[in-house]
Amino acid sequence: QVQLVESGGGLVQPGGSLRLSCTASGRTLSTFTMAWFRQAPGKDREYVAGIRYPGASTYYADSVKGRFTISRDTAKNTVYLQMNSLKPEDTGVYYCAATFRRLITSQVRDITEFNYWGQGTQVTVSS
């Protein structure tokens, strides 16, 4: 069993930055494909970024490409999402997700491929 706990959310002004963390217990994250999803009020949960196992290839939604960076620290069993140049449309609850299945590139953005989820952390971008 894997437990994921997100942290780092908060209120930030447009153009600001936040770094989200997702720490795992129960199993090492180095053998998981990890992803971040987000959900705005009244909208479906959507893919944001992913980092694949094996290897460490990273993938991003077009809406965040060039602004967000996903990374993994195996020593801390933690995955990060560095978010820069934040926009009001980035507002939502951000969820960390994990799967031990080996995915092809197109599957990394598929919400149905992930079977472990954190509780979410709120990110609000507003002036």
Alpha helices for the chain (secondary structure H) = none
The top-scoring range by mean pLDDT among 11-20, 27-36, 53-62 is 11-20
Among residues 37, 46, 44, 43, the alpha carbon closest in space to that of 99 is found at 37
What is the reported pLDDT for 88?
A: 97
Predicted confidence (pLDDT) at residue 56 exceeds the cutoff of 90: no
pLDDT in tens, 111-124: 999 999 999 999 99
